[in-house]
Structure 1
């Protein structure tokens, strides 16, 4: 009897230990994100691929509405209820999270060796010594056009700005299409698909952007004013009522075949593929003069980091290392055409429009949006002010030089290097 009891206790003890061991090997990770339109892709493609190689780890993707993400995430972090993995917007918003202790350093993760310093710049400390998110993807700016319309009108893809304006003149003269689909109602499009799209060809990409940060150039210098002067010319090609035209209005105008050219970001590709019943092409921002070096905005857009308070740090690190892998790079780029891998891996993409956008990396110099790093930390916020200035210039309610001076005065009021 006594022997049986001891055996029973030993068996129970062994079972408890084995249960405890199994439990210790299992982990569940929750991902916070603003990309709620990605839910199906994470559930059907990305998470199953990760879990297949890490059977002890389960992952949940729990996005918030994009406009609410920052506020929701901050409240969860303060309450200690945020997920294990945090999707990171670029530059200052994520830097603030790191400085407040809400993102762990990932500098030494094995997967980080697959990213260049430019790729990591959106999620690094100002001196570049610490990274706090693993880069996932960038978006590229340019122009998407209706190939059927161009063929119908005998138009060649423009290489220079004057060739673009000549094409827009022909489209306008024909009268069957609005030459260019963009409105100014929401303001941000005028800056993002207007000023930040064509501007790098004027300020020479990273050269000008860094010079602005260092205080060696000012927003009133000609290379920063001239893009506004070019945007003034866009007004004649945007169609009637563009001042009240919203971003969805412009998307609909183009995908319904009513406009020939759409100043774009590559993030439009997935949606446009589903909506347009005509063949689309894309071209980079035309250079000012034939033979000029070209520059593209290849903007670091999305990354993922670790909540320092996660109960499963090793599992979270395993996931982050996988995000740095060639498998993730290929899966993500093909599941979301127009969101391009920031890793050094060679990624084969199936979507022809995405292939066209990413091919510009081999022809042009890459930069990021000029307002995103450091220069929008103060008040007035340079990013938001650039939205307003770009819209005003296109509408004709503010002269390019006046808009540039207003932005420069605002920046100089709080940014030491520009005082």
Structure 2
């Protein structure tokens, strides 16, 4: 038979590696401890004897909590929580009771819990660190891009996009900044073009106003010239032709009243009066449109202009013709050339105080050139063109240029005070179908 109180069982129980304050006991059906790893508790009543007795009798296992407050004298009597496990023996009405402090039983779980807490704290700190890093690497650059787009949308292209990272957002930021620079350059070009266009528009407006002013002045000059021409014709008719006619009528009346006094002398006087009338009317007609231009052509007309305007002024003139001298031009071009040369020679006679005038007419199959040069006092061409005087000075030059441009001609004037004047006239040639043979 096995003696449960034998020291051998107690020694076996004590040899079991257990933690501090852990006890293994064999309890009988009366709740008496018959063996224990703590020899002082052998044959003592368990502090849960009734409960354990019931379990032993009924062969039931149980695990539960209890507190340790019934230890022997000399032991730590502080109240502690234990885990108690009871397992009945199948061969006897005993049971094995294991009591171990709760902190030892749950030490692995507590350790695991602490480790999980530490791991959780580390994970939270890591997550916070990652969040801060992500905020700096993603959110902040994205916010910077948003602010940059807002500035650009408001028209501010002066500030760069400051993102220096080398990731995709950095690449996007650099591309965005390059776009900002190109957009800034494009806007600057547009502004410059707008300023240039405004300047061009202002210049064109000024030119139009200047052209309108010149046209208005030319129109006034045309009207004034017409009135002046009418006054000249009226004056010539009144001072010369009308007086000659009146004298002729008086002679006729005298002949009618005194027919016996008619002689060869009277007839010669009357004939001379008629000749003067004829010459006066012919002079008026020639001034309006010289028949010499239609009858003899441009060269003879130029000689007539030089003779009529310069000879009485004591100015020497030299006229040279080169090229196809006998070829007739389009009547409109001949008339235009005649009027331009007439105006130029008239200006020389009135204003140049020249001693010599040189006229060169060069003709070819491509065009006709006329050069008129004098050794007079000269003048400031730009000032004359840009500052038309109220009395019409400068309009003659403008009129010559306008006449030349009507037939694609080009007129240029080279002059300076004290340096004389040189006028060059170039016309593309259009032949007249009728040529002088």
- TM-score band, normalised by the shorter chain? under 0.3
More helix by share: 2
Q: Which gives a bigger RCO, structure 1 or 2 (Cα 8 Å, sep 6+)? A: 1
Which of these two proteins has the greater Rg computed from alpha carbons?
2
* TM-score, normalised relative to structure 1: 0.21
Q: Calculate the TM-score normalised by the size of structure 2.
A: 0.21
